[in-house]
Amino acid sequence: MKKVAVALDWTPNTNHTGFYVSRAKGWFEEEGVDIELVSPSVDGYKRTPAQRVAAGEALLAIAPKETVLSYVTAPEAKRESHPPLVAVATILQENTSAIVTRKESGIDRPAKLDGKVYASYAARYEGRIVQQLIRNDGGRGEYTEQPHPMLDIWDRLGDGSFDAAWVFMGHEGVDAEMRGVDLNVFMLQDYGIPYGGGPVVLASAASLADGAQRELIRACMRAAARGFEYAAAHPDSAAEILVAEAAKDGTELSLEMTKRSQAYLNKFLLGPDGKFGTMQHDLFYSFAKFLSDTGMLTTHIQGRDTSKDGVTSLDGLRSGDVGEPIPLDSVPFKDLSVNWHEL
């Protein structure tokens, strides 16, 4: 049995159902894989899933697709800690995330976010995407981007600490509905932002170039795909398994919410070919072209130590301290993704 760690992008939820179903049913074991699912709650999200892969702590990670772009376009000084990453599967075929506000706030369109406070995950493109969302609706894009511990953002939006947040409608959206909390929902694709499907399962380019690790990734994804395809066919049963398995790892989930969430996500789990994880390879190009066309595909990255070369603050990124444009034709799109069943 080969030990494999998979770094999750959040505490256990229905984006991860396939992994937990396959663990429960012994499908990883059938592939010779001893799976470990690593929740970011182990350190309060001090390390991202991608950082765990980059450091060799995990073979696979679940992350937003822009993570792949961010790593491949990292400044020279950051290349050692930002090795090339490759998406090997997409969890969901379409975007289900949105910027939301509470209905009672009166912020019923993105343009009204001018002058408001947005709860930020402090990602490289995030603040500028929100800024573009506001501008695409006729606003100025002038708002406060306030970083906050990631696992706490939804609760803080609920208590009025922030005016807006970026959430998954299949999770926080379902939770809000169950609580009777009315939301204003701004889907990115409705405002000219081609965000596309995700999150993605990613691996390092180095591990894919290693024959033994490549086969281990293939084995792990074969097992995980069985779990997700089981969830697509048996959503209630899969939700029950997820709740039971998450409890073993110390996370208590509501069965009712998990079933509702699984039902919401089910239509996004399988590709046109009926398989789990299949990516359209133009996904990265269309998103990167949007970043390029709007001046976001640039060399500077966010960080606390802005004295370092190529590093600026989140406010700096939104106000134009972005470094140099990265030519679209310099991005190696063919190296950013590979469908796991074609490995």
Please write the tens of the pLDDT for every residue from 310-327. 889 999 999 999 999 999
**pTM confidence score:** 0.94
* 226 vs 107: CA distance, rounded Å: 42
**Final residue of a structural domain among 133, 156, 191:** 191
User: Has residue 146 been placed in a domain?
Assistant: yes
Higher-scoring residue by pLDDT: 94, 305? 94
Classify 106 as helix, strand or coil: coil
User: Has residue 284 been placed in a domain?
Assistant: no
Hey, what amino acid is at 161? Answer: S
Classify 80 as helix, strand or coil: coil
Same domain, yes or no: 153 and 123: yes
Work out the number of other CB atoms within 10 angstroms of the CB of residue 53: 26
User: Domain containing 223 — which CATH number?
Assistant: 3.40.190.10
Q: Pull the structure tokens for residue 332.
A: 């190696």
**Final residue of a structural domain among 191, 214, 243:** 191
**Domain ranges, residue 64:** 2-94+197-268
Contact assessment for residue 20 and residue 62, using Cβ atoms and an 8 Å cutoff: no
pLDDT at residue 303 in the model: 81
Model confidence at 35: pLDDT above 70? yes
pLDDT tens, position by position, 238-288: 999 999 999 999 999 999 999 999 999 999 999 999 999 998 888 899 999
47-53: long-range contacts at Cβ-Cβ below 8 A with a sequence spacing of 24 or more? 49/7, 49/8, 49/9, 49/202, 50/7, 50/85, 50/202, 51/81, 52/5, 52/7, 53/7, 53/85, 53/202, 53/203, 53/204
Segments in 137-234 forming alpha helices (H): 153-158, 174-179, 205-209, 211-233
**Final residue of a structural domain among 238, 268, 298:** 268
Same domain, yes or no: 89 and 215: yes
